[in-house]
């Protein structure tokens, strides 16, 4: 397999560090640069706690992509930064894998159009964990038979976006097979604002943020005298890495935007 030259944005983050370890142990991956909020001019190996990789750190993705030959940008930053980075990569004709979450439906549509126009492979993966992808697919299957569904997503308390990218993607998949339906009592009202969570086409989404959690989601389906729960738990961030590897390998072969690893997992 040809070597894939990767730049990681967000190398000191919880996901970024794991991604550096993945690159270090994967023979056909090479870290050629990193983009950080600080530490410009240093090497990754200069930073305490990071793998000993001699890749230069940039504070500006534009400069990085002008100076370094990069095959794939792997973005694991924050919602605002990730959205900028994907467009900068497109301008440079560089493929990207975006693990960063927080994209709205409109932003995804705009990005799809931009990636198509540029003809540059781009993967947005709201969740890299294979189990989470299956959980979403199982939920999509179940939604054909159960129209009443609520999502509870649970994450660590440092997460910036709510609902999670996984919950947004799950709703997207369920909506593809389920007609909009108002759930609950027709006259229900919230005595406390937010008590019923967020709502899309009648699907309620509840976001829990607590220290100690990593990434978890339950999709609850209710029917006459029965309930089906589909649940996935990530207990560490290694759980995401096989999906990161698959996305980086696959983005080398696709044109335009792929939104969600369920589109590339057989």
Ligand X SMILES: NC(=O)C1=CN([C@@H]2O[C@H](COP(=O)(O)OP(=O)(O)OC[C@H]3O[C@@H](n4cnc5c(N)ncnc54)[C@H](O)[C@@H]3O)[C@@H](O)[C@H]2O)C=CC1
| Member of 126, 170, 221, 245 binding ligand X (CB under 6 A) | 126
Place of tokens 């100076």: 67
Decide if 64 contacts 33 (C-beta within 8 A). Answer: yes
Rounded least distance, CB 125 to ligand LZUJQKHR, Å: 9
Closer to ligand LZUJQKHR by CB, 159 or 175: give it.
Answer: 159
155 interface partner picked from ligand LZUJQKHR, ligand X, none, CB below 5 to 8 A per type: ligand LZUJQKHR
Please tell me whether residue 127 binds ligand LZUJQKHR under the rule CB under 6 A: yes
CB 179 within 8 A of CB 147: yes
Among 83, 85, 155, 178, binds ligand LZUJQKHR (CB under 6 A): 155
Interaction between residue 56 and ligand X (CB under 6 A)? no
Residue 41 CB, shortest distance to ligand LZUJQKHR, in Å, is 29
Q: Pick from 99, 78, 233, 102: which is nearest to 163 by CA? A: 102
Dist CA 2 CA 27 (whole Å): 10
Asked if 131 contacts 239 with a C-beta cutoff of 8 angstroms, the reply is: yes
The gap from C-alpha 61 to its chain's centroid, in whole angstroms, comes to 20
Within residues 75-104, the interface with ligand LZUJQKHR by CB under 6 A covers 101
Q: Which of 32, 65, 72, 100 binds ligand X (CB under 6 A)?
A: 100
**Could you give the residue ranges of the DSSP H alpha helices within the chain?**
14-25, 61-67, 79-91, 105-118, 130-143, 165-175, 241-251
Q: What is the DSSP letter of 27?
A: T
Among 5, 159, 196, 209, binds ligand LZUJQKHR (CB under 6 A): 159
The answer to whether the CB of 70 falls within 8 A of the CB of 94 is yes
16 binds ligand LZUJQKHR (CB under 6 A): no
65 binds ligand X (CB under 6 A): no
Sign of the CA dihedral with 59 first, then 61, 63, and 69 last: positive
In the bound complex, what is the minimum distance in angstroms from residue 65's beta carbon to ligand LZUJQKHR? 25
Q: How many residues bind ligand X (CB under 6 A)?
A: 24
Element spanning 124, H or E: strand 122-124
Site residues for ligand X per CB under 6 A:
9-10, 12-16, 35-37, 76-79, 81, 99-102, 125-128, 240
Binding-site ranges for ligand LZUJQKHR (CB under 6 A):
101, 126-127, 155, 159, 164-166, 215
């Amino acid at each position: 397999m040809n070597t894939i030259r990767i730049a990681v944005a967000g190398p000191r983050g919880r996901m970024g560090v794991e991604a550096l370890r993945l690159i270090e142990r994967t023979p056909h991956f090479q870290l050629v640069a990193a983009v950080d909020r600080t530490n410009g001019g240093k090497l990754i190996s200069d930073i305490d706690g990071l793998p000993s990789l001699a890749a230069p750190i940039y504070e500006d993705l534009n400069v990085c992509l002008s100076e370094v030959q990069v095959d794939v940008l792997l973005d694991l930053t924050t919602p605002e930064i990730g959205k900028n980075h994907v467009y900068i990569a497109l301008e440079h004709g560089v493929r990207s894998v975006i693990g960063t979450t927080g994209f709205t439906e409109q932003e995804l549509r705009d990005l799809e159009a931009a990636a198509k126009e540029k003809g540059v492979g781009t993967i947005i993966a709201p969740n890299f964990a294979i189990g989470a992808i299956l959980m979403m697919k199982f939920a999509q299957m179940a939604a054909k038979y159960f129209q009443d569904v609520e999502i509870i997503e649970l994450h660590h308390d440092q997460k910036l976006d709510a609902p999670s990218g996984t919950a947004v993607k799950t709703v997207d998949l369920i909506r593809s097979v389920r007609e909009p339906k108002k759930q609950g009592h027709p006259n229900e009202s919230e005595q406390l604002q937010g008590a019923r969570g967020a709502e899309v086409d009648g699907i309620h989404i509840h976001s829990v943020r607590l220290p100690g959690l990593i990434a978890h989601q339950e999709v609850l389906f209710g029917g006459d005298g029965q309930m089906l729960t589909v649940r996935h738990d990530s207990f560490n961030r290694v759980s995401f890495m096989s999906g990161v590897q698959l996305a980086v390998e696959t983005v080398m072969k696709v044109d335009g935007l792929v939104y969600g690893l369920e589109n590339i997992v057989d």
